[in-house]
Amino acid sequence: MYRKLELLRDADLVKEYTEVRRDGPNVTLYERNFTNISVGIDEADEFTLEIDRPEESPEDRLATFWSEMKKES
């Protein structure tokens, strides 16, 4: 299951959050990062994929930025 969540996270289809708990171990939470996914076939018989995403708030963009910086370090 965790491998599938990693694949979804790497494809930016889920967001990963860590919930810090005082009374026990931290918990990792996942949230869907799309509103709709459409798969189709065009005139050349090629697959097409459209992903609709919710608009990010400035706070979410900043959190995403720092998460990406953390991954690179």
Domain ranges of the chain: 2-55
pLDDT beneath 50, residues of the chain: none
What confidence score (pLDDT) does residue 73 get?
A: 67
Looking at the chain, how many residues does it have?
73
pLDDT attached to residue 70: 76
**Number of Cβ atoms within 10 Å of the Cβ of 13:** 16
Check if the beta carbon of residue 12 is closer than 8 Å to that of residue 33: yes
CA pair distance 17, 28, nearest whole angstrom: 6
Among 4, 58, 55, 12, which Cα is nearest to 32's? 12
pLDDT at 65: 80
pLDDT digits (tens, 9 = 90+) for 55-72: 888 888 788 788 777 777
List 39's β-bridge partners, or say none.
49
